[in-house]
Chains A and B, each alone.
Chain A
Amino acid sequence: MPAPIRLRELIRTIRTARTQAEEREMIQKECAAIRSSFREEDNTYRCRNVAKLLYMHMLGYPAHFGQLECLKLIASQKFTDKRIGYLGAMLLLDERQDVHLLMTNCIKNDLNHSTQYVQGLALCTLGCMGSSEMCRDLAGEVEKLLKTSNSYLRKKAALCAVHVIRKVPELMEMFLPATKNLLSEKNHGVLHTSVVLLTEMCERSPDMLSHFRKLVPQLVRILKNLIMSGYSPEHDVSGISDPFLQVRILRLLRILGKGDDDSSEAMNDILAQVATNTETSKNVGNAILYETVLTIMDIKSESGLRVLAINILGRFLLNNDKNIRYVALTSLLKTVQTDHNAVQRHRSTIVDCLKDLDVSIKRRAMELSFALVNGNNIRGMMKELLYFLDSCDPDFKADCASGIFLAAEKYAPSKRWHIDTIMRVLTTAGSYVRDDSVPNLIQLITNSVEMHAYTVQRLYKALLDDISQQPLVQVASWCIGEYGDLLVSGQCEEEEPIQVSEDEVLDVLEGLLVSNLSTPVTRGYSLTAIMKLSTRFSSLNRIKKVVSIYGSSIDVELQQRAVEYNALFKKYDHMRPALLERMPIMEKTATNGPSETVQTNGETDSTILDTKHLPSISQPASQANDLLDLLGGNDVVPIIQTTVPTKPASAGGELLDLLGDLSLTVIPPMTAYNKNGLIIEFTFERSNPNPNIAVITIHATNSTEADMTEFVFQAAVPKVCSFPSCSTVIRKHIFISLIFLKEQLEAIKHRHFKIRVPVYFRQGLLKSYIMHKIFFFSGYCWHLI
């Protein structure tokens, strides 16, 4: 049989192929030749054949029939054979094939070979594809080589040990003694791989971590030498001495110093040195600086060092490379809470990043900007943020608008400024504003009493321009409904009052009702607004007409409202002025019952629930009706209380029916709700120290495995009781106590008293919302409706 052709020949031949089919044919021919050569057990040409096989494998052709041949090559005495054999094993074999176990013995012998390059080959192969069984068998040999003084072998043994530990974590202890003087090596290759090994061990075992803490001084020394030593051509990269070793050491220091005072203190100096001495013109320098910053942030560093780190990040923000800018913004975001003042110093740079071209950078910059807003910089920041809102992508607008509202609420320097800011947001990004902002804004406006005229005027003018942005339209129509009289009478002090007649106002509102741009919610708002104007304007007939027309609207919500308003005109006209009176100031505190406040949809007490999580659950303008009609007994017409906060408790008595007798002690506990793992029970007792106080305890239990989050327990309860705040997460139990005073209860004995429980909670991905459970309490009778 002629000698098999050389690899070079084969490659040359294959390259002449003009089509895929031709190539395949050539390869198949050669494969056949190789197979027969293998069958002849020819030692001389085996390595040549395997080399060809590997080439064909790279091109994508099957080469599995060469696996055993690789093993034979490994077993050969010649270095050439071993070299290609091990390469073949690494490329063709893997631990899924049983064949690979046959290598174990060969590798074991080769690990003890007299030639270091053979030992190196064996280590390399074991470290690349050694299975757990192989690692278990050969770990001892690797450990021996870890202690050798031959740096070529030592560095390979270190990486091989990392592989062994990853495959068989239990063997980690075995390598412990060998690590003793790994760091005293001079050779950078060994140092580098040793640090990798130590890092791997520390990450896997807290015991190892505490054991290796004593290496901190040594690591610091090595790092110091790297920085302080002069130019060393061997390790120099862009003027920095072995940056990769520096980075590895910094990482290990980070792991060792985390949460440990002594270690952190030992590294303070060197970190400061690295931070100040490193060249930043090249990327390598930046990589080192960034690792230093991360280390400083993770360990217990002194404040001066932290400021240094943040300044480095601030400098990164000015770098041309957008990856560096992005990385800096992300890190700043993580530290802004803890090192607020230091980050504030870079505020202007961060704000400039809002104008960056890259979308991810803009988003980070926006988040960071919101975190940096405070009472001192609110005006300037808001200007930038509003400008950003104007020009940013639609994806951002909702978040940006919400953020602006929050910031404005917290830090508004004046009411006028606040209203102006809101106006600006509504007019520029009005359609992106979240639904739950509308009631928030309404409440805000209501509470800024002196700004009512100004607000309604501005909103009216905005409506004239554009009625497409629903949140704006909703807020505007609500305001016009409330303060239309101020609008028409031209009372505005803040700016030039406009001249507008009642008819014009009604035109606008009616326009909203018929416009195709208005959503049903918006229509509801404007109908109610028109109705409210009946007590503020004189053109009653027109309003009556509108209301009666909508009595036959297809939209059920509108129809219901119109019918009820009609009824108000016809049968209860005497109540109309009281009903439609100006809204009182809305409080956001937990302790007031609804007799004093109108609970806006779902966003009641900020102490009870997290407003962000709760979705809008009912119509804004009529939510007052929702909550109150249950308190109004069996009347159809919703009674809006007209109390002002200072009114005495008896006002509550008009609306509310309270417990009759205080013989609560006989009432047994009752389960009000038991579904989806949530159990709500009521227990009734008299408070022990003071028998004049009755306590109804509501006990919510989570009987499932998972936590229930966003639990909201809302109750419309009489003013006489105080309603404490309630946690939003139920792990197992929540207790809410309602307290009643005897005196107030005795005043109204025989009527009913209701507690409405809209309960909302989320469990994992399953949302559950229970609504309108109304509990009637009257005398001794406790009914669930």
Chain B
Amino acid sequence: MIKAILIFNNHGKPRLIRFYQYFAEDMQQQIIRETFHLVSKRDDNVCNFLEGGSLIGGSDYKLIYRHYATLYFVFCVDSSESELGILDLIQNMLLFTTVCNFVMQVFVETLDKCFENVCELDLIFHMDKVHYILQEVVMGGMVLETNMNEIVAQVELQNRMEKSEGGLSAAPARAVSAVKNMNLPEIPRNINIGDINIKVPSLSPF
């Protein structure tokens, strides 16, 4: 089970925080700090998972992370597949790293598609959108969908729904984008109007 998904930058500033298990607010911040501390120390060449910090439950938890340019994507996974059986972490290790790596990849690629060459700023300014995308990939700590096209399609449809609703908040934005998209022909600067011979037809009075 995925216990938490964290995205933060090279300085530890959080860009997206999603916990799938209850943690008090201050605990959440502490976990973010500790995770950043653990992950930032690692060489990029070493295998990309390590034991969880003491806060999230110690050695039963593993952190699987990837470093993309200025961002760290971290999945915090626990050893049990279901809450019942504590399956051997060793057995699951291979699977977890593979799955999480892949899901991260899907997630990032989806972000890329949705934001068009996503960068950190996009995540900063569109935190809610990123959450919505994530919601289509992981639900309740379990992987929901791995087909990127599906995910992108569903996200787009929902965004469209939101846009169509519009409302006051969207109106100015829509106006602006409408003006932007308007195809205005070139207006000639010098209008040379010569003599105009206007012939007005006689209209019968009614």
Contacts and interface: CB of A to CB of B under 8 A. Distances in A.
A and B bound? yes
Interface of A: 6-8, 11, 15, 44-45, 47-48, 51, 54-55, 57-60, 62, 78-80, 83-84, 87, 91, 94-96, 115, 117, 124, 127-128, 152, 155-156, 159-160, 162-163, 166, 188-189, 192-193, 196, 199-200, 203-204, 234-235, 237, 242-244, 247, 251, 283-284, 286-287, 290-291, 294, 321-324, 326-327, 330-331
B95 A83 contact: no
A246 B82 CA distance: 18
B161 A192 contact: no
Nearest to A234: B147
A80 B169 CA distance: 11
Contacts of A237: 102
Interface stretch (B52-60, B66-74, B83-91, B184-192): B83-91
B95 A291 contact: yes
A572 B82 CA distance: 76
Interface string B145-161: 11101100010011001
B94 A204 contact: no
B99 to A, nearest CB: 6
Given A80-B165, A128-B20, A163 B84 contact: no
A234 B152 CA distance: 12
A203 B97 contact: no
Contact of A286 (B83, B94, B101): B94
A367 to B, nearest CB: 14
Contacts of B125: 7-8, 11
Contacts of A323: 47, 93-94, 97
B95 A290 contact: yes
B153 to A, nearest CB: 10
Contact of B84 (A204, A247, A331): A204
Interface string B109-128: 00000000000000011011
A155 B29 contact: no
Given A47-B169, A80-B167, A204-B84, A287 B140 contact: no
B82 A200 contact: yes
14 contacts: A54-B128, A55-B127, A60-B25, A80-B162, A87-B135, A94-B22, A117-B157, A155-B144, A192-B146, A247-B99, A287-B98, A323-B97, A327-B91, A331-B91
B108 interface: no
A199 B165 CA distance: 40
Q: Is the interface of A mostly helix, strand, loop or mixed?
A: helix
Q: Which 10 A-B pairs have the closest CB atoms?
A: A287-B98, A127-B140, A60-B29, A94-B22, A189-B145, A80-B162, A128-B140, A79-B161, A159-B139, A163-B140
Contact of B140 (A160, A188, A251, A327): A160
Interface of B: 14, 16-18, 20, 22, 25, 28-29, 47, 81-85, 90-91, 93-95, 97-99, 101-102, 124-125, 127-128, 131-132, 135, 139-140, 142-147, 149-150, 154, 157-158, 161-162, 165, 167-169
A505 to B, nearest CB: 54
A192 B145 CA distance: 8
A124 B158 contact: no
Given A60-B25, A155-B145, 5 more contacts: A51-B128, A243-B98, A323-B94, A323-B97, A326-B90
Contacts of A15: 124
A341 B99 CA distance: 34
A283 B98 contact: yes
A62 B158 CA distance: 29
Contacts of B98: 243, 283-284, 286-287
A244 B143 contact: yes
A203 B165 contact: no
Contacts of B139: 124, 127-128, 156, 159-160
B95 A287 contact: yes
A199 B87 CA distance: 13
A59 B14 CA distance: 7
Contacts of B93: 323, 327
Nearest to B169: A48
A62 B99 CA distance: 34
B90 A79 contact: no
Nearest to B105: A237
A7 B131 CA distance: 15
B142 A159 contact: yes
Contacts of A242: 146
Contacts of B22: 94-96
A324 B47 CA distance: 11
Contact of A117 (B29, B124, B161): B161
Contacts of A196: 142
Contacts of A84: 128
Contact of B132 (A83, A193, A235): A83
A87 B95 contact: no
Contacts of A55: 127
A189 B47 contact: no
B112 to A, nearest CB: 17
Contact of B16 (A57, A58, A162, A283): A58
B154 to A, nearest CB: 7
A703 B96 CA distance: 48
B43 to A, nearest CB: 15
Contacts of A156: 139, 144
A115 B158 CA distance: 10
A87 B144 contact: no
A51 B125 CA distance: 11
Contact of A166 (B83, B102, B135): B83
B149 A234 contact: yes
A54 B81 CA distance: 30
Contacts of B14: 58-60
Contacts of A117: 157-158, 161
Q: Most chain-B Cβ atoms within 10 A of its Cβ — which of A45, A78, A91, A287?
A: A287
Contacts of A244: 99, 102, 143, 146
A430 to B, nearest CB: 34
Contacts of A166: 82-83
B139 to A, nearest CB: 5
A331 B91 CA distance: 8
B147 A189 contact: yes
B114 to A, nearest CB: 15
Residue in A6, A242, A286, A327 whose Cβ sees the most chain B Cβ within 10 Å: A327
Contacts of B29: 60
A166 B140 CA distance: 11
B35 to A, nearest CB: 14
B75 to A, nearest CB: 14
B165 A247 contact: no
Contact of B127 (A58, A62, A159, A188): A58
Contact of B144 (A60, A79, A193, A283): A193
Given A128-B20, A247-B95, A287-B98, A159 B144 contact: yes
Contact of B167 (A78, A87, A91, A162): A78
A614 to B, nearest CB: 32
A169 to B, nearest CB: 9
A156 B138 CA distance: 10
A162 to B, nearest CB: 7
A342 B91 CA distance: 21
A87 B162 contact: no
Given A83-B162, A87-B128, A62 B95 contact: no
A213 B94 CA distance: 27
B173 to A, nearest CB: 9
A291 B90 CA distance: 12
Given A48-B169, A58-B16, A283-B98, A294 B91 contact: yes
Contact of A322 (B47, B85, B157): B47
B140 A79 contact: no
Contacts of B143: 192, 244
A80 B147 CA distance: 25
Q: Which of A54, A60, A200: most chain B Cβ within 10 A?
A: A60
B41 to A, nearest CB: 19
Contacts of B149: 234
- Which of B16, B83, B101, B146 has the most CB atoms of chain A within a 10 A radius of its CB? B146
